[in-house]
Chain A
Amino acid sequence: MINKKWLKTSMAIIMASALLIAGCSNGGEKNAGNNEAGKTEGSEVSTEPVTFTYFGFGSNKDVLASDTTIGKVLEQQTGVDWKMEFVVGDASTKSGVMIAGGEYPDVISPVAELEKLIDAGALIPLNDLIEKHAPNIKRVYGDYMDKIKSEDGNIYILPYTANVNGYLTEPDIGQGAFWIQRRVLKEFGYPEVKTLDQYFELIEKYQAKYPTMDGKSTIGFITSAGVSGDFYSITNVPMHLAGYPNDGNVMVDMNTHEAKVYAASDFEKKWLSALNDINSKGLLDPETFTANKDQYLAKLTSGRVLGYFNYGWQTGDATNNLKAAGNDDLRYVGLPIVFDESIKDAYIDPPAFVNNRGIGISVSAKDPVRIIKYWDNLLTEENQKLVQWGQEGETYSKNEEGRFVMDKEQLANRNDNQFKRSYGWAYFDYEWPRYGSNSVFEDGNSYSVGNQPEVAAANYTEGDLKLLESYKVETFSKMFAQPVERPWYPAWSILKEQGSPEQIYNQKSEDLQKKYYPKLVFASKSAYESIWNEYVKEFGKLDVAGFEAFITNKVKERVAGNW
């Protein structure tokens, strides 16, 4: 008996090590193959194989770029491979550790950690590198040069939103909206829903009729306020309800360009008392402030939730999964809800340039010239098509008029999280130097797959089409008002110095909101007023005027052309 066990174990060990060795040698061969391919193609750019490190503060899974199809193609062109890593856990802790250690990956996509990294001198200025080595970068970012230069005249990052050759608006809603489950609209014959009252009324009516689903009670309304770092999904709402786009924690007047904080304002009061109201009717999820991300997304995909407020990027995985599941009644549609009918909604972003989200080269980078050349190569039209559309004939096709189209299977792949990872879209279509999402290629095709009208139309399910027909629109974004140009947009991207009064204000106001929102939402009707007054009084202790003056000033500068 015992002998047999030993035999089995040792066999297993031998097998494992054999596999391991085989795997290693395979990898070696692969690399060698690449070498040659790179060498034959190389012109004056060095194509010595090299692996750089990439760190992204967005969420994703770690990968070796050459393990993806796109990364492989790019490696063959340049000889450069990337070890791509992403943040796990708390982003600011990770950046703090990086700064304290003074050692950085070769390139960083800092997302919200940009201020901190620049402050610590972690990124090198790119001005000379671009001037000397990068004609394509100059072409793409040329019009934006003033906006991407920081105050000291240096370019530290290449942002993701520089639109090229025009501006195409999105057919689908990727931004914030009040989402409602389609079966609710269906039940009542697709009524017009414009105001917050109508929205909640509809949900109430539906829940009264169908209180349970699969034996569990339905949830009337929810936001992701319990997810750590997502508290803005409940505090941003008054701004949208009042008819403003997402400027962060201020609303900017179209004419005077005055920035106003709307926390502790009447708008916020109206929003919170509406929540308080639906809570007393049992429509609000009791876990609104406590559910973590997993719990939250599980609720959304369970189909029990009738309505929610979120930005498209917060629930991407859940909505994709719902779509893949194929039951149109359980999917959601975004509505442009406002306080009252006289307000024109502004949910869709106006043409914007976000200059504080981008990718930069760190001071630890061994070969910045090589990296800038890689980026320059990435920004050719051909490669930009690759990172968005993939390879012609495989992941998309051209029709007779030269328009890019996708068939059912290709489209399913483009939307499938698993396939996006293995093909490399999940890694290369966003956090790299790129055209802005609303760009157009020189041949007239849309840069983003989702913005191509032919694809958007093909993407619609039967349920989609029926819904669109009922509301007499061609695309979902037509249900929303067209955006109005705002030259400063978005105000949230205004840089605030580390440890400055503005940053401290931001933190303190968020702390206060976190503390009082649940109190107000779950308060009894009689106590609401007194808690609200307490909140306003506490808020009055903060330097609101100073913060508003700071933002107003910056907005006016941007309007005058000084970014």
Chain B
Amino acid sequence: MLMLMSLPFLAWVILFKYVPLWGWTIAFQKFKPAKDLFDQKWVGLDNFTFLFKEEAFYLVLRNTIVMSSINLVLGFITAIVLALLLNELRNVYFKRTVQTISYLPHFISWVVAANIVQTALSPEGIVNILLLKLQLIDQPILWLGKGEYFWGILGISEIWKNVGWNTIIYLAAILTIDPAQYEAAEMDGASRLQRIWHITLPGMRPVIVILLIMNLGFILESGFEPQYLLGNSMNVDYSENLDIFVLKYGMQMNNYGLATAAGMFKTVVSFIFLIAANHIAKRLGQSRLY
């Protein structure tokens, strides 16, 4: 009976998750949208060769990995810290207000968010005014014009936008911890910090590890919109990522073959990361994805 019940879902998985993989054949073609499969021109590995021969490809690959690592690490740390802090709050109204304010930016589209960031960071923007008033700098800084600053700006913008949202799942994880443990610890004279360190954090560990493994699967997904919207000719060496490269040389030139090849490359790399992380977690005796 159970087997029978799972059949529809199996069919769903095959239909929607495996059949589309057929589209990968585009990577080996000079694909024209209006023609059917047999009229397409097959080009073998040409699309991959173009990708791996291109000097710019390695630069955008570097940017992609760095930016997504920054997002991953910062995103994790800030979300966990914020969850711990919120959990310690005793005033429910204050807690809810902070939480609501912190996850609101998640619902703003990047187009609007990028505009806010651009305005704030312009030479006459609030950031420069503040720094000038505090006499930390004596000349306005062109924040988006310095490539080296871009990764930092992106990291901070991502946190501002997503930290509240990411916190929700950790707060849920904390709720599953048995209150009796805290009471026992308090009896034994554990301080607040000790309680966080020895009870809350270990209680959250399974969730943290699983999320980490899953996010490692997206290591080549550093996002597209913020880089595209905040990028300009002065920071292009740091802001252009794989997705923008694919947009320029693939989509914009109707070169869907190249776009698919890049997609395949991303999938393979992500797959390797995911398996490796899962394997390590298994070795360390932690909870794991499968």
Contacts and interface: CB of A to CB of B under 8 A. Distances in A.
Interface of A: 89-90, 92-93, 96, 99-100, 102, 115-116, 119-122, 216, 225-226, 228, 231, 286-287, 289-292, 294-295, 498-499, 503-504, 507, 511, 514-515, 517-518
Contacts of A294: 115
B237 A93 contact: no
B130 interface: no
Contacts of B169: none
19 contacts: A89-B111, A93-B251, A96-B252, A102-B33, A120-B34, A216-B124, A225-B233, A228-B232, A231-B233, A287-B145, A289-B234, A290-B142, A290-B145, A294-B115, A295-B118, A499-B253, A504-B249, A504-B253, A515-B237
B251 A119 contact: no
B141 to A, nearest CB: 10
B115 A286 contact: no
Interface of B: 30, 32-34, 56, 111, 115, 118-119, 122-124, 142, 144-145, 228, 232-234, 236-237, 247-249, 251-255
Contact of A507 (B115, B234, B248): B248
A283 to B, nearest CB: 15
A289 B237 CA distance: 14
Contacts of A517: 233
A289 B146 CA distance: 11
A518 B33 contact: no
A518 B249 contact: no
B119 A295 contact: yes
Given A120-B33, A287-B123, A290-B144, A514 B233 contact: yes
Contacts of A120: 32-34, 254
B248 A515 contact: no
B118 A292 contact: yes
A226 B229 CA distance: 11
B254 A116 contact: yes
A228 B111 CA distance: 13
A150 to B, nearest CB: 15
**A-B pairs with the 6 shortest C-beta distances?**
A121-B34, A514-B233, A498-B254, A120-B33, A499-B255, A92-B252
B122 A291 contact: yes
Contacts of A228: 232
B32 A119 contact: yes
A290 B33 contact: no
A518 B233 contact: yes
B66 to A, nearest CB: 18
B171 to A, nearest CB: 32
Nearest to B224: A93
Contacts of A498: 253-255
Given A96-B252, A295-B118, 8 more contacts: A115-B254, A119-B32, A120-B33, A498-B253, A499-B255, A507-B249, A511-B248, A518-B233
Contacts of B111: 89
Contacts of A507: 248-249, 252-253
A226 B111 CA distance: 16
B116 to A, nearest CB: 12
A188 to B, nearest CB: 29
Nearest to B35: A121
Contacts of A115: 254
Nearest to B118: A292
Nearest to B145: A290
Contacts of A287: 122-123, 142, 145
A295 B145 CA distance: 15
A285 to B, nearest CB: 9
Nearest to B34: A121
Contacts of B119: 295
Given A100-B33, A295-B119, A290 B234 contact: yes
B232 A226 contact: yes
Nearest to A91: B252
Contacts of B144: 290
Contacts of B234: 289-290, 518
A498 B232 CA distance: 25
B32 A515 contact: no
Contacts of B248: 507, 511
Contacts of A89: 111
Contacts of B255: 498-499
A289 B232 contact: yes
Contacts of A90: 228
Contacts of A499: 30, 253-255
Contact of A92 (B32, B142, B251): B251
A225 B234 CA distance: 11
B245 to A, nearest CB: 10
A514 B254 contact: no
Contacts of A121: 32-34
